[in-house]
Structures are given as structure tokens and as C-alpha cells.
Structure 1
């Protein structure tokens, strides 16, 4: 029996498709074979025919591709009125002309291939009579806009699919007769030169529901203002719309989506050059405003594969309220920001992130995909799964991690509905579902093929799990072999499990942990010391106030008041009249009970307490006579024996020490108090001053003949004179 091969045309090319069991004819030997379906095929491709050969009248499938036929007229096919399929593609003649009424008798013809005839010429009524034609291939024929705007296709009332791949159409302006082609749903315009799509140009397509409109690889990027053209797809709807490789920038993409806002598109294919790519910063990645124009388009399937997206921004797909499938494979994705999939919860079922540059998965990566069923992360560079990775995927059933760099699965989130897990071509050492036994408890199918196992003692737990699990492996266990070390190369894991030896215990891990604890403790001590120093330097005044309040209330109780009847004054202040303002603000308001009831001392000073008409000495004597413990000091002072008044005389130095011999002689043998420069030390200083006053009084009474020196701050002698100009500012 002679075997004949027919050449069955497909879009843009020829494929061999011999029809076994059919009645077929080899045009060179003219032998026939009867088919059970009573179809007759003539495989006459590449037979050097210059015209249609003589064939049986009842032929149904005629393949005449790659011959030298230059013309088809009304007589060329008049005897073959049973034809269902006719292929005249890729004729080697310089030109192929289709005359008027050439197919007038082919009323049963449903498929006509005229593609790859670069100089194909059609007369105006070339397709007359083909009212049952469903599929017409006119690819690579150098047709211009007129093929759609002229009346060539008007007789094709049953046309469903038109292939105009690789022609020279610049402006898409279909004729109004397309409204009568009610079955027309597929149009392939890939690789043309279409530069713009305007609402007024596509009136002929209004009311159409396209199962496919392919605008791949056109020049739509040349349009600068998509708003001026209106909505080119007004009153149209699409099952699949392919806008790939149209040169759209991110900004123009956003403009175009705004222009077609509200157009129903079930499946949008938008491959190309969107995104900044890897290591580039001059182009932006899509954000939540990019797809705003599609919010009312009911997009179920968004295909963004083969782009240059590097980072998935926050809520980038939030306008896609009806998305079920999102394909972002074959991009450059390396970063997935928090809440990147916000707005997709409750409806996204399949997410394809395969063939990207993802390196790790965190707990927040997929938190909003509550209804996701399939997650494809294959062929990335994933080397680590963070703690609680895959959180927020309670309904996930298929997880594809093939072709990554995983050594273990860490501690992912529990996936109670996971049924299929693909882990082929990784670097696994362990897959035990720990610490959470529920992580992979629902698994039914598992793939671990092409993993390069390093066989040592650390593989023990994995091998134990491998021997007891009841999962269905998609590749036989016998194929899992040791890759390293060289001595165990190609040894089946099942065999290695019988000879494996447990790891020897060592203290290295314990020592490492101890070092870590010591480091942490030392760091805490150093930090505590540094912070304590800083706090003391900055807040020592406040700390002292709090300390004194606690001591005063808890231990000392209320401050004792000096006996009222025994003394007239507690303190006599001697100072220059020029310094009165400063003394009042800095000392009297803090010590004298006439300025504040909270103060415990009765102070005496010249401006207020001296009697008029008396000399200064008398006033001083009268002021301190009733004091009792100051009388001796006053007497000795009059006798120029100030050096003996240690217990009753307190000197306050504000600023720098004066260049007076008497003063310097005194301070060389006695202690004195220096006014603090830092205002936060004032409370502490006043506390010291009060303590000195009270201490002197006490010592005087107890050891009058052998007095103790006052405990004060001792400071070296300064050479410069005292500065009082800025005292008021410091005290206030």
C-alpha cells in the first residue's frame, strides 16, 4: 500500500499531516485509498505544479502548497465542488493572482490557506461564493490597510478566523460590512505595523466579541496621546487580547489602559519590556496606579510574562478585582514588597512566578492570597524559606519549587490543604516536616528528582523520614542517589540508609553557644555602663532631687526647725551691695524663710535687717548676738583672728577667686564652696550648703574646744579675678 503525506497548512507555516485511513491521492502516481469517513485527500505539495492538476471530482482536501501556480481563476477549481480544505500557500511563482469568482463553486470550502505568497493579488470578487468559509489564512502576503477596509472579505458571511500575521497594515480601519460577519471572533494582526488605534477607525468592529485579537509586535508605542483617539474598543469585548511587544513604556501603558477603560477583557496578554530590569534604575516598575484603567474590565487572567519587572510594588495588582490567574513568569523579579498582592484576596487562584530572580520567601510575601490554589516558584534562586514562610495560604494545593537552591525547608507555615509539592532539582538535605508536623501533613504527591544529595551523617533524619513516609513520589525512590562525596557517588539513597553512621557528638556547638551568651552579656554590661554615664551626666540634678525626696520622706522625716526662742538669726550673709540681686535670687529665695515658708533658715543681711542710725559693727553684733554660736566668731573676727573661725565661717566663691591677700591667705588654710557652673547641680549644691550650716552648729555644741573643719569642696587657687557679670544669668 502506498503511503501519501499531505501538507496541511497552519498559521504562518506548513505542517505534515497525513490522514491515515483516508482516501488520498499522490499526485504523481494517482493512486486512491478509501476512507471510512469518505474524505478524499490530495497531497500535491512540492510537486512542481504550474496549475491545478487533474484530480477526482470528489476530492475534499487539496494541498497544493510550495508549487509554481501563478493564477487561480473560475475554471481552475470548477470541477472540485466538494472541497472542504484548500492550501495554496507559499507558491514559488513570482506572483499569485486570485481572479474574480475563482471559488464560486467551492461552497463547501471551510478552510483556505493563501499565506506566504508575498505578491498575492486579489481581485475585488476573489472570494465570491465562499459563504461557508470559516478560516482564512492571509499571512505574509504584504497586504496593506485595504485588505480590511476594502470589500474583499465581504462575501465571507461564515468567517470565524482571519490570519493577517506579518503584513504591512499601518492603520486598522475595518469596513462596516464586518458587522454582518456575526461569527467572526478571531483576528491575528501580529507583526504588522499598526501605529494607532482610534475609536472612529474601529466602528466596523463595534458589537463584536473577540475570542482572540492578536496585536502582538506592532508599533503602538508611536502614539503619543491615547486620550485624543477615545476608546478604540468601544462596544467590544474580548476573551483574549494580546498587546505584547508593542513597545509600550510604563507611562504609555497606563495611558492606554485609561483609554480602553471599561472594555471587558477576560484574558490580557501584555508581555514586552515593562519594568526596570536587573541592575537598572532609569525605568520604573509597575505600581498600584499602572493598572487602574482595568478596574472595570473584569480581567480574569493577566499575563505579564517575559517582561523586565524587578520589584513587585505594594498593591500593584489591586485594581484587578476579578483576577483568577496572574502570570509574572520570566521576568527579573528579585523583590516582593510587603502587601504586594493586596487586593487579590478571595479571588486569585493561580500565581506564576517561575523563572525569576527570587532568593528567599518571607512570612509576609503572600499574606493576602487567601484563596490561592497553585503557586509556581520554579526555576528561581530560592535558597531559604523564612520562618512561617507561605503564611496566608490556607487553601494552597499545589506548590512548585523545582529548580531552586533549597537545602532544607526550614519552618514554613502550616499548609493544611497542600496536595502536590514539587522539589525537584534542589540541594535538599532534609524535608522532615518539623517543627510543625502539620506543615506538609496533607501531601499526596511529592517530587524530589534531580536533587544532588550530600550523603553524610546529617542526612540521617531525612533518610528515616524517606523510609516511613506514605507519600506518592512522582519519580521512583531508586533514582535518588548520592552526589557527594566522591566515594559514594551514584550510590542509591535507599542503600546508603543501611550503612549511615550517626554523627559524633562534640562540644563545638555548645562552645559556640557559650561564646554567644558571653558576648551578649558583655555587650549588655558595656551598654549599661555607657548609658548610666550618659544619664548621670545629663540628668544628675533630677536624680539628686528624686533621691533627696525619697530619703526625706522615708528615712529622715520632716526637717527639724531651729528653736525659735533661742536665736534671732541662723545665718548672717555678708556680700557687696552690687551683688544683692544675684544673692536674693540665688541664696535668699532658697534659704530665707521670709521668702518662702518651705525654707528653714532665718537669714540676716544689711539691706533688710540693719537698724538705721547704728554703725555697721553694732548692727552686725546685735544681729548675731542672739545667735549664740556666732558670738565667738564675731569676737575673733574683730581681733583679726579669722583663721580661728573655721567652724562658723563658710565662704562661697562665685566665678574665679579674687586677688586679695587676706582672702587668699584664708583659702590657703580653709575650705570653701565653689558655685556650680551646671544649673542641674544647683539642688545638690544647696543641699551641701544647708548641710554645712547645720553641721557647723552641731560641731560647735559638741566639741567647742576642738572643732572639726567643715566638709566642703576644696579647690585650688585661681590667678584671675572673680567675675560677677554673668552671675545673675546663672542663678536665674
Structure 2
């Protein structure tokens, strides 16, 4: 425990910031002299605790260079810009020094007694100093009884014949020999370390055993009687044979963690000249009590049969960043204790039921960034202790194989829809997929025990029917940012998506193109504390839109003009930056609130500015003046009197307008009923002529169900005796087997009028566009307008004008638009009936007879 505290103390000393202290000065125990062009050690106060002298030109340090600094704990002398000499007992006046940093200085001369007189030194940094073998052979570290960490990396050490004094370093825990030139390490070289337990020993990046032939019979076990928590022998160019020989040589040595990353084991993709590891490669580690093995960043292509069977105590296996494409059945047999398996960043394409057999205790499997597109349904279901499965950034199109586990990561795949499977999870991540239908969201909200659901960066935009809201009492965080909920909500469906989420605390709805919030959409979110609505198109927020207990609100990057300050009164923090504030008198109350509120305003104040009017565009709301708005308040009493007067005078008129506007559909029905009574229900008859049909309805077959319910049942005589028109349409009246063009021509020339129902499906149907062109041809032939165009759905002018036949019609004619409000449908059908009944005049007078466009606000 004491050793760990010493290490922690060293880290804390280096982590304490020195910002705020000017260079070449002393402040609160810190002497900062970096980049001060010093050639000698400066005189500093006796109370100095940290002395930072790196990046200077100090050439020599002797026993008299430092004054007596009893409280000094950290000395930084690294990175001198000139060759460096350290003389005998150079640091003897620093009796309580804990950390000595000489790294990245070219030490020209280092006296063997340079570090004498430092009984409390626990960390010595000598990396990148150009030191040779002598530093470990000649007893430079004698009497450093507290030394815990020794960094000798990036030097020129070729041999590790340690001086016997290493045996006396009872506190030594960490030694770093990485990035040297050590080609061989044998048993006799590390004898002074026998009997010790080291937390870290690194021989990485030395070309160890890879450039020379080793007689292991003579070299024997370099780590005999040495216990190592972590042994790092990575990046030494080890093949399968070298790894096998080394494993056999160190057999019996206690090694808790072995780091073998950046190796060259494995054939890689498309090669066969280098072996993949086999059953014998790690057999020598059977008695080492190995718990962690890192084999990442290599070229392993195939995990062969019983590859790790001797590693009975292994708990973590890292195989990331290899070229693994094949897992042989039984590859993991013997790993009875394994808990973490990392197979990320490999070349796996398919997973089979037998791939993970032999892993009874595995809890975490990382398979992200492979090419997995197919997984058999039983692949993970027998892993009873599996807690987390990470399948991000693969090519999955379905998830039938997913077991009920607490944490599931499936982001960055190709999921278009979710199957109806039994699923129980605490955390589900599905961001960056291709989910469109909100039915999948309703399904996920019903997953038992779900606490966090992440669906960012999908395509949620469709809601074609009503769903049963979830009663999820466990969900706490829901991420729906960067979707297209506006398209779903503007259909009038799925406004109840958040019903029953009474424990939800955090909700992200940013970047969803929202220009309105459905009434009561957040009414059930009684526990919601954080709501993120940034980067939408909201222009207005009403007091009833937000949950009562909300504390943090983000409405940045919207289009708010004059927000009501009472909306934010109960919040603790709000982000209102980058909105379209309209800086007129209506905003004065908000500006006054802005300057007086105790609510924390997130974001930069410079991003709260006026957008309109142009005179103050870009001016901060903190700087804009509302002078003159008081005069308007003085007129309020007069305005109120006038308001009362005109209110009384116009009450009847306003009520009439309100009734007609609100209940225009009902009023229209009453009008038609009265008309039939007055005229004794005489229907307007059709003039006798040579036409077989009153009208030909041209529409996409994908719209048939809607056309049948909306038009045919209300107009066609074969659907009801109450209807007046004999209509022609493809599904019923076209001659089976006849050429489709001939059917279209017959329908057009046999009908008094042609009604084209232009929808999204119509624009994608070549036959429909062809029929539209033929109808225009008849218009030219008859010199009258027999074509009636009805636009169905939210098609823009641009989408319509992209098609040549429709563009030509729209440039000379007006068209009808199907109403979005249901109460306008009867009025519209009456209008359409009049157009069908209307007797067309000749072309020369056609310009005076135009169809009146029916908008959604009619």
C-alpha cells in the first residue's frame, strides 16, 4: 500500500499546474525557470518545493551548485540545450528530493557517485540521455533505498549486466529499458533482481532476441525468482517461434500481465509464409499465473484450435488490430477464467455458433470495427455471464442473434428495422444506423429494465399508424438527436411517443428539424431535468410546452424571435445562443430578464444577439437599447379603452368568424343540406353527350387504398347510389391483357374530364406521367381544358416543376391541392365535382376561366 502511495505522490507532484506563474520567477514554493537562458543553477529561496530548470543551457552540476533546499521535492533538469555534466554528489544539498527529472538531456559525463546523498528519492528519470551500459553495470544507483521508479528508456544500453547494488534497492517497483539496443537478456544478467516483485518491467522496442541466435539452454530464464505485475516485451519483431521459445524459457516465472503488442506473428491477409500462433506458442506460460495478455497490433489471421488452452487463469485477452478473419472451433477452449475478450479492428465477416465456445465466464466481448455482416442466432446465447457486447461499426442488417444482456453497442451498422425479439437490457446504443420508422422506437421503449437508449444519427422520420405507448419506469436517458422527427410529427401521429416515461431525466432532441412541439408531448415527463432542443427550427415556445420540473434547457441555434422570459424562470441553466431575436419593444421584457436573472446562461454572451431589424443586426442583447418603449406603455390605458369598445362592437362578428373558421366543415354540410331543401333536392344533371365516363381518375396504384376511401366512395356511382359520377380508373375499368398505352388512350378519350392525383408515388410512376402527357394532348386537340390536376401530400413547387409535363401545365393552368384539414374535405369534393360538371369553353376564351387554387389554409 505504501508503494502505491509513493507512486501516486509522484504523479500528483508533476500534475500540479504552474500556469499563472511568470517564467523566471518564484511563487508559492514553485521556482519556474524554464526557457530563461540559464547557464548555472539560480539562487532560490530555502522554502522552494519545486524547482523547474528545463530548457536552459546549464552545462555542469556539482555538489555546490544547489543551496541547501531542505523542502525541495521535485527537481526538473531535463532538456538542456547543451551537453551536460553531473559531478560527484551533485544533489547532496537536496536531502528530501523525491523526483529527479534529467530526461532528454545529453549527459556528457555522469559520475558514479552523482546520486549519492538522496535517501528519499523515489523516482529517477534518465530517459533519452545517451547513457551506455555503464549506468547499470557500475553501481550508479547505490544507496537509493527509496527508489521506486527508474526510467532508462531511449538510451544506448546494449547489455543488462546489473550491478549487485540493485539487490539493495528494496523499494524498486518499476524499471523501463524500452527503446534501447538490448538484443539478449539472460538469467545471470538480472540476478540482482531475484526475489523482488516489480510492478512494471519494460524491454519494449529493443529487437530483443530477434536479431541474434539464442542458446536458451545456456541463457535460461531471465526472470527466475522475479515476480512481475507487468512485463512489456512489445515491438521487438517477435515471430511465432521466438514467442514460443521465450514462453518456454520463462516457464514458472510469475507474470501477472504480459504485453506482446506490435508483433509480427501471423500470416496476415492473403499471405501464408509466416505462421499463425498455434497450440504450442503460449504453452510455456501455463505455470505463470498470467491474468492479462496483450497480443494487439499484429498479423494474426486465424485463431487456431486450443490456442490458449494452458492459460487457465487468464482474465483479459487483447487481440485488437490484427488481421483475424477466422476463428477455428475450439480456439478459446481452456480460457475458463476469461472475462474480457477484445477482437476489435480485425477482418471478421461472419460469426458462427461455435466461435465463442469455451468462455464460460466472459463478461465483455469487443467486436467493433470489423466487417461482420452475418451472425448465427446462437452465437452469444450460451454465454450466460456476458454483460457487454460491442458490435459498433460493422455491417449488420439484423439483430436476431442479440441475447438479453445488460449493455449492447450496435452503432454504426446498417440496421433499417428491428425484429420483434425478446430483449432485456440496461443500455442500448444504436446510433448511426438507418432506422426510419418510429415503430422501432416504440418497441425499444418497451424493453424491460432499459435505462439508457441512444438513437442519435438515424433517420427516424416515419409514423404511419397509431402505436401503444410504453409504460417504461426504468428509462432515465434517451438520445434522439440528429434524426427527422419533424416529418413524423407533422403527420399528426406519434405525438404520444414519450407517454409513460415518468422516470426519464435526460432527453436529447437536437437537430430534428423541429418547427413545432406537439401539444402535451412532454406532459408525462415529470422527472425530466435536462432537455436539449438545440439546432432545430423552433420559432415559438409556449409555457405549456416544457415539463414543470425541468432544470436545464438547450434551445440554442433555433429561430426564436421574442421568447417569453417566464419560460425560463424555474430553470437553473439555459442555452439561448444563436437565435433570431427580433429586437423591438416586444423583446423588452426578455432583455430585462436577461440582465437580472440568476439562471445560469450557457454559451458565450456574444452569441446572444439581434437578428432583426437590420439596424441592430448582430448587436448583443446586453447592449441593445429599449428606450421609447416606455412611451408606448403610457398609451396602454387609451388602447385598453379602445380595445373594450371595439371588442363589444365586434363581438358578434368575431364569434361568427370563429364559428365559421373553426367549424367550416360542419357549416358547409349545413349549407348543402339547406340548398337541397330549397331546391327540393334536385340534383344538377349531366348533359347528354357521347362520353362513356364523366371523369378518368389517373393515380399511382400505390395510392389506390387512399383514393378509394377519399374519392371513389364519395363520387363513384358504383360505390353508392347517392353518388352522381361514372368514373374510370385502371384497377376496375382497364381491359386486362390490352396494351397499357391503348387502355390509357381509351380512358382519356372516353371521359369528359381527366383528374390526375399527383402524389409522390405519381411522380415516380412512368405510366402516370405518360397519361398526364396524353391528357395534355387532348386539351390541345379539343381546344379546352379537360385536365384537372390535384396535388396530394406535401409536395413542393420545386418537386412538381422537375417534371416536364407537369411544369408545362403549371405555367399555363392552376391546380387543386388536397386539403390537409379533414373538415375541408367535403368542401373540396364539392369543388372538384363542380369542375367535373363544368362545361368548358373554347381555347380562345380559356384564359378568362382559371381554376382557383385550394390551399391548406382555405
Helix, strand or coil for the counterpart of 1:222? coil
CA 1:138–1:411 in 2, change beyond 3 Å: closer, same or farther? closer
1:101 equivalent among 89, 96, 120: 89
Q: CA deviation at 1:144?
A: 1.2
CA 1:368–1:495 in 2, change beyond 3 Å: closer, same or farther? farther
What is the match of residue 217 of structure 2?
A: 227
What is the match of residue 450 of structure 1?
A: 432
Deviations 1:198-226 (A, max 9, x none): 11121111112110001110121123233
What is the match of residue 500 of structure 2?
A: none
What is the match of residue 70 of structure 2?
A: 81
- Structure 2: distance between partners of 1:67 and 1:460: 64
Q: CA deviation at 1:185?
A: 1.1
2:131 equivalent among 143, 160, 165: 143
What is the match of residue 197 of structure 1?
A: 185
Q: CA deviation at 1:152?
A: 1.0
1:331 lines up with 2:340 in the alignment = no
Deviations 1:44-100 (A, max 9, x none): 11111111112111101000001000011111113323210000001011x111111
Q: What do you get for the CA RMSD once the two structures are aligned?
A: 2.9
- Structure 1: distance between partners of 2:310 and 2:488: 54
Helix, strand or coil for the counterpart of 1:254? helix
Helix, strand or coil for the counterpart of 1:227? helix
* Partners of 2:86 and 2:107 within 8 A in 1: no
- Structure 1: distance between partners of 2:416 and 2:158: 58
- Residue correspondence of structure 1 range 33-72 to structure 2 within 5 A: 33=28, 40-72=29-61
2:293 equivalent among 265, 279, 302: 302
What is the match of residue 465 of structure 1?
A: 443
What is the match of residue 247 of structure 2?
A: 257
- Residue correspondence of structure 1 range 656-675 to structure 2 within 5 A: none
* Partners of 1:158 and 1:181 within 8 A in 2: yes
CA 1:101–1:451 in 2, change beyond 3 Å: closer, same or farther? same
Q: Which runs of 5+ in 2 are unaligned?
A: 1-8, 463-480, 495-700, 705-858
Q: CA deviation at 1:410?
A: 2.5
Bigger RCO of structures 1 and 2 (CA < 8 A, at least 6 apart) = 1
What is the match of residue 349 of structure 1?
A: 339
- Residue correspondence of structure 1 range 584-599 to structure 2 within 5 A: none
Helix, strand or coil for the counterpart of 1:240? strand
1:419 equivalent among 390, 397, 406: 406
Taking structure 1 as the reference length, the TM-score comes to 0.60
* Partners of 1:355 and 1:380 within 8 A in 2: yes
Helix, strand or coil for the counterpart of 1:200? helix
2:154 equivalent among 166, 169, 183: 166
- Residue correspondence of structure 1 range 660-699 to structure 2 within 5 A: none
Deviations 1:630-655 (A, max 9, x none): xxxxxxxxxxxxxxxxxxxxxxxxxx
Q: CA deviation at 1:492?
A: 2.3
- Structure 1: distance between partners of 2:139 and 2:441: 73
1:430 equivalent among 410, 417, 424: 417
- Structure 2: distance between partners of 1:69 and 1:273: 43
- Residue correspondence of structure 1 range 629-640 to structure 2 within 5 A: none
* Partners of 1:447 and 1:473 within 8 A in 2: no
What is the match of residue 481 of structure 1?
A: 459
Helix, strand or coil for the counterpart of 2:217? coil
* Partners of 2:461 and 2:486 within 8 A in 1: no
Q: CA deviation at 1:253?
A: 1.0
What is the match of residue 383 of structure 2?
A: 393
- Structure 2: distance between partners of 1:483 and 1:249: 53
* Partners of 1:483 and 1:490 within 8 A in 2: no
* Partners of 2:416 and 2:433 within 8 A in 1: no
What is the match of residue 291 of structure 1?
A: 282
CA 1:422–1:27 in 2, change beyond 3 Å: closer, same or farther? closer
Q: CA deviation at 1:361?
A: 1.4
Larger radius of gyration: 1
Aligned length: 467
1:246 lines up with 2:264 in the alignment = no
